[in-house]
Structure 1
Amino acid sequence: MEPSQLRRAVEAARATASELGLRVEDVVVIHDSDRVALHLVPCGVLARVAPPGHLADSEFEVTVARLLADVDAPVAELDPRVVDPRVRVRDGFAISLWTYYEPVGSQIAPADYTDAFMRLHAALRRIDLDAPHVTDRVVVALGEVNDRERSPELPGADRVLLRDTLAGLGAAVGAGRAGEQLLHGEPHPGNVLGTRRGPLFVDLATCCRGPVEFDLAHAPEGVGERYAGADHELIHRCRALNWAMFSAWRWRRDDLMPDRDHWRAEGLRQLRAALDRCGPA
């Protein structure tokens, strides 16, 4: 967020938590992008704050979290001290309050990551939720790439690469829907916390439907190798598709990801490397 917007977001989170009887003496910014994650001290709350226009996404995330908590999924939980754990709106910001987990260790072992993945996917099969398909997200990314006004700085050759990859791999990944299920959507290492309870998945607003390989493509390679029944060629294709979508978001004119220029170049580099590993379509 822009500095002025971030200050307003921090104040909105502080005021919301205080109004609910939670003691806030300090606010630590944990993550700052289009949405922010704030550690409220000393009450030990993780506040997720989305800017105006993102209320529906925040409400969807809270719905997913509540459904998964009921089936004991390995996911971060909403703060149990908040009697009515819904999304609050203050100064236009959508605010949800979560349990803050002290980090444990620096890296999650592949075996633990895989076990958490399998438990998460099993839990997702137990809930009833209307969620978009993976290919719906591909269509949105393709729209950003095809609209030169929304991605004016994207070079011509890279635009063709992204367009062809999104269209081709999107169709390939969406073709066989028999074994699909609800997914996390973006379970990369940044969205998996190492805690005393074991690995916990966060950022549930990306929940969607598709093959489990789409989720596995976000994880370190050792995870997919251990996941029983995974199609490794499909993981490679999904990994390339993920990097194509990631790159499409970075080339948006209004993208707010920190160090965007670095990630624009890195996303395209990773995409080309992933495409080199893909087998025949």
Structure 2
Amino acid sequence: MTDETPYARLTPDLVLDAVNACGLWPDGRLLALNSYENRVWQVGVEDDAPVIAKFYRPGRWSDAAILEEHAFAQELADAEIPVVAPSVYTGRTLLHYDGYRYALSPRSGGRAPSLESADQLEWLGRLIARMHSVGARASFVYRGRIDRETLIETPMHAVLHSHLLPASQIDRYRGAVERVDHAVAARFDAIGPVRTLRLHGDCHPGNVLWTDAGPHFVDLDDARMGPAVQDLWMLAHDQRAMDALLEGYGSMRDFDHAELALIPALRAMRQVHYAGWIAARWQDPAFPAAFPFAAEPRWWEQHITDLHEQAEELE
């Protein structure tokens, strides 16, 4: 197993054996769930409900950072906020088996929220506000922050050291990212200090599941410190949707409306990070299969154009 192919040994048998090591009796049913950064399986269990087994990508987070995520999830659950927290086995949530780190959690189904529904958006706004009230109680120590180093500088270097970016586009790409970086820095400087708190961090529609009982959040794998608006903007495709989210949010917790001016900066940072993430993970066999467009020069040409458009919006 290498850093480039970290899951080469993660066979179905190993997944079943890891679940069995927790005292459960897998019945042989395995369903691979949609996940690229980690590997996630639904595992059938004899005479019981299936469990979700999440195997963490080696080298991405330290044990301390993963345990901090687990503690945050449990803190939210204890506050009756609907999140899926990892289960405890022999007093631990972070488990180890044959060189892999993993966690088990209850299976929790649902459907995507309707982002056209003002009622559902207000409901989500209230839940995010409650989550932020818990998140504001303390700070992460090990999980980092939403900042330019993490979301711009590091991914840029991953792209520049990758063979995916055509040589003819290197200077144009570097120039586009540097322009975005300067524009993002200027926007944050213009807004001034903003309150940061523990966030979900990746609160897009795929990480919210809706049932007849309402919504619940999954996947805190990108939980970090950052401004509250980070957990709102990916759920709002237009101003009407943002207004509905803020209507719900404001009924539970104060929101600093100055943070809305950070949305173009956060969007640009996410775009830079996305390309860098693909480049950094390209040796993982799952990535060329899932993102074949990243091997095409025209995609990088469009990406560079998009970055200039993001910078122009910020400027």
Equivalent residues in 2 for 1:16-55, closer than 5 Å: 16-25=18-27, 26-42=29-45, 43-54=49-60
> What is the CA deviation profile of residues 13-60 of structure 1, one whole-angstrom value per residue up to 9, with x for unaligned ones?
322222223231211001241311111114321111123334625333
Counterpart in 2 of 1:123? Answer: 134
Equivalent of residue 96 in structure 2, options 81, 84, 89: 89
Question: Runs in 1 of length 4+ with deviation above 4 angstroms?
Answer: 1-4, 269-274
- Name the aligned partner's letter for residue 92 of structure 1: G
Total equivalences in the alignment = 278
Deviates more, 1:226-235 or 1:268-277: 268-277
Equivalent of residue 87 in structure 2, options 68, 74, 79: 79
1:47, 1:13 → 2: CA distance? Answer: 8
Q: Which ranges of structure 2 fall in alignment gaps of 5 or more residues?
A: none
1:68, 1:167 → 2: CA distance? Answer: 36
> What is the CA deviation profile of residues 231-264 of structure 1, one whole-angstrom value per residue up to 9, with x for unaligned ones?
4332222222222222221233636445223368
The alignment partner of 1:122 has SS state of: helix
Equivalent residues in 2 for 1:95-244, closer than 5 Å: 95-104=102-111, 107=114, 109-130=120-141, 131-135=143-147, 138-139=149-150, 141-146=152-157, 150-154=161-165, 155-156=169-170, 157-170=172-185, 172-173=187-188, 176-222=192-238, 223-226=241-244, 227=246, 228=250, 229=255, 230=257, 231-244=259-272
> What is the CA deviation profile of residues 128-184 of structure 1, one whole-angstrom value per residue up to 9, with x for unaligned ones?
532422116x34641342366633322322332223313531563377334222222
The alignment partner of 1:204 has SS state of: coil
The alignment partner of 2:280 has SS state of: coil
1:123, 1:73 → 2: CA distance? Answer: 9
Contact 2:6–2:57 under 8 Å retained in 1: no
Contact 2:132–2:198 under 8 Å retained in 1: yes
The alignment partner of 2:193 has SS state of: coil
1:261, 1:276 → 2: CA distance? Answer: 26
Contact 1:68–1:123 under 8 Å retained in 2: yes
C-alpha distance 148-74 of structure 1, shift in aligned 2 (>3 A): closer
2:162, 2:221 → 1: CA distance? Answer: 24
TM-score when scaled to structure 1? 0.81
2:87, 2:144 → 1: CA distance? Answer: 27
1:133, 1:241 → 2: CA distance? Answer: 13
C-alpha distance 240-53 of structure 1, shift in aligned 2 (>3 A): closer
Deviates more, 1:38-47 or 1:11-20: 11-20
Equivalent of residue 261 in structure 1, options 283, 292, 296: 292
1:8, 1:191 → 2: CA distance? Answer: 24
The alignment partner of 2:33 has SS state of: strand
What CA RMSD, in Å, does the superposition of the two structures yield over aligned residues? 3.4
- Name the aligned partner's letter for residue 73 of structure 1: I
Contact 1:132–1:209 under 8 Å retained in 2: yes
Deviates more, 1:260-269 or 1:23-32: 260-269
Contact 2:197–2:225 under 8 Å retained in 1: yes
The alignment partner of 1:251 has SS state of: helix
Contact 1:58–1:94 under 8 Å retained in 2: no
The alignment partner of 1:51 has SS state of: coil
Contact 2:152–2:273 under 8 Å retained in 1: yes
Contact 1:239–1:274 under 8 Å retained in 2: no
Highest Rg: 1 or 2?
Answer: 2
The alignment partner of 2:101 has SS state of: strand
Deviates more, 1:15-24 or 1:182-191: 15-24
Deviates more, 1:19-28 or 1:255-264: 255-264
Equivalent residues in 2 for 1:265-280, closer than 5 Å: 265=299, 268=303, 271-272=306-307, 275=310, 278-280=313-315
Q: Which ranges of structure 1 fall in alignment gaps of 5 or more residues?
A: none
Contact 2:203–2:235 under 8 Å retained in 1: yes
TM-score when scaled to structure 2? 0.73
Q: 1:270: how far off?
A: 9.5
> What is the CA deviation profile of residues 205-234 of structure 1, one whole-angstrom value per residue up to 9, with x for unaligned ones?
322222112222322325533324444332
Q: 1:3: how far off?
A: 9.6
2:268, 2:151 → 1: CA distance? Answer: 17
1:219, 1:46 → 2: CA distance? Answer: 25
